[in-house]
Amino acid sequence: MSFTEFLSDASDRLFGPFVHKSALKYSIVLNTPDHFIEMLLLIEDKRFSLHCGVDPLAVARALAFNLRGGVLQGASTVFQQIYNIRTRRTSVHGRRRTIGTKIRQSSWALFHSAFISKAALLREYIDTVYRGKSLYGIDDAADAYFRTSRESLSAAQASSWRSVSRCRIDSRPAEFQA
């Protein structure tokens, strides 16, 4: 097991139960299955309920790995990804990975975490994030891929979006439907 795999595994074991409790809380407010929210938080922002827009542990981890070279590690929280979604609509520069962009993203996340509830932010993320095949948001994607509503998504259907969320590839999750 590599050091990277060890850290990822340790983080999953440490924060997995906490993510599950958070998912249960947000699933009621967002009218979304808890297994979908749990999968989303485990992939995108394990410490969503613990930080105030920026996750210092994720930043430290990404910095340590990125300084060593190899595959770039990310540290964006859901708040920071909402910044990316909102600015991508109006930006003429596209999405650049620069230190200036990361500072603007982090500043926005810290400021807005004081004014936007985490439930409202998670709702915006779920309703606007890319889900493959030119689909944005869980409602359109659940209907297009599985002919179902967000409330009826199974755990297998929700987990089939893992690669689509992370890689932004043009795949068809229905092929993995169980």
Is there a domain that residue 173 lies in?
no
Across the chain, which has 178 residues, the per-10-residue mean pLDDT values are 50 70 90 91 89 90 80 84 82 64 90 94 93 88 93 88 50 41
Give how many domains the chain has, as a whole number: 1
Is there a domain that residue 93 lies in?
yes
The whole domain housing 106 covers: 3-129
Tell me, what DSSP letter sits at residue 147? S
Is there a domain that residue 176 lies in?
no
Is there a domain that residue 28 lies in?
yes
Is there a domain that residue 141 lies in?
no
Is there a domain that residue 159 lies in?
no
Structure confidence at residue 130 (pLDDT) = 86
Runs of H (alpha helix) within the chain: 3-30, 34-44, 56-68, 78-88, 99-112, 118-128, 138-146, 155-159, 162-167
CATH number of domain containing 94: 1.10.3810.10
Q: Report the predicted TM-score, pTM, of the whole model to 2 decimal places.
A: 0.77
Is there a domain that residue 86 lies in?
yes
